[in-house]
Amino acid sequence: MRIVLMGAPGSGKGTQAQRLSEHFGIPQVSTGDLLRVAVERGTQYGRAARAAMDAGALVADEIVLGIIRERLAESDAARGFILDGFPRNLSQAEALAKMLASIGQPLDAVVLFEVDPAEIVRRISGRRTCQRCGRVFNIYSNPPGSPPHCPVCADHPPLTQRSDDTEATVQRRLQVYEQQTRPLAEHYAAQGQLKTIDANAPVETVTARLMEALGEPAHRPRAG
């Protein structure tokens, strides 16, 4: 099973990727993590990526593709992979298709997690962190007091909000995501590869929908 996952920040895509990875026994290939590792290890692509980052530039698509190709050559990816974080635009999608064709591993499906933007804003902007123990709470689902404080640490320190979790920042990130993703989704839909999942549901339900979309009948919820 060779899959690309697309979903806005806060869509629950990461959790579902983990579940897919366990179910199919295939690795989750997150380009963000791959880049970090390549840079740390100082591989050929990692050094090129670092040079770009140091210059304040975006890492070129060829470098990211090279890192992905190297990762897919590892034995655990022989039966498939879940690609996350790439592609983000049409030219990347085309370059990826070409690279995957060249190694004989074309995509089976592209999954788009659809979520209500208002719900995402709520989920993310409601996050509060305890500076002491690092636990994350949500003022909407799990109100830990007023004003919000950590119920775990003995002296109940106040919870704080990360600066990039504010409502305005989340709105902006969602807008960028929308602009990037819509043409990509249309592209994959035209190729007959797009599976759209309604992700406005509890984790278990989303997993069931995902399995069904990918043709895994064992996970289909019982009718009636």
Member of 150, 197, 199, 206 binding Zn ion (CB under 5 A): 150
Check if the beta carbon of residue 219 is closer than 8 Å to that of residue 212.
yes
Least Cβ distance, residue 144 to Zn ion (angstroms): 9
Dist CA 157 CA 135 (whole Å): 12
Q: How far apart are the first and last CA of the chain?
A: 30
172-201 residues near Zn ion, rule: CB under 5 A: none
Q: Does 159 bind Zn ion (CB under 5 A)?
A: no
Q: Which residue number, 121 or 159, has a Cβ lying nearer to Zn ion?
A: 159
The single residue among 78, 101, 152, 176 that binds Zn ion, judged by CB under 5 A, is 152
Cα–Cα distance for residue pair 145/193, rounded to 1 Å: 46
Helix (H, G, I), strand (E, B) or coil at 162: coil
In terms of CB distance, is 13 or 128 closer to Zn ion? Answer: 128
Q: How far is the CB of 152 from Zn ion (least distance, A)?
A: 5
Q: Check residue 136 for interaction with Zn ion (CB under 5 A).
A: no
CB of 129 to Zn ion, least distance (A): 9
φ, ψ (nearest 5 deg) of residue 166: -70, 160
Instruction: Name the 3-class secondary structure at 54.
Output: helix
130 binds Zn ion (CB under 5 A): yes
Q: Which 8-state DSSP code applies to residue 201?
A: S
Which amino acids are annotated catalytic? Answer: 13, 88, 127, 162, 173
For Zn ion, give the closer residue by CB, 49 or 150.
150
Which of 90, 153, 176, 203 touches Zn ion (CB under 5 A)?
153
Contacts of 168-174 spanning 24+ positions with Cβ under 8 A: 170/9, 170/10, 170/120, 170/121, 170/124, 170/125, 171/121, 173/8, 173/9, 174/8, 174/9, 174/117, 174/120, 174/121
Total interface residues for Zn ion by CB under 5 A: 6
Q: Binder to Zn ion among 88, 132, 149, 156 (CB under 5 A)?
A: 132
Least distance CB 126 / Zn ion (angstroms): 17
Residues that bind Zn ion (CB under 5 A): 130, 132-133, 150, 152-153
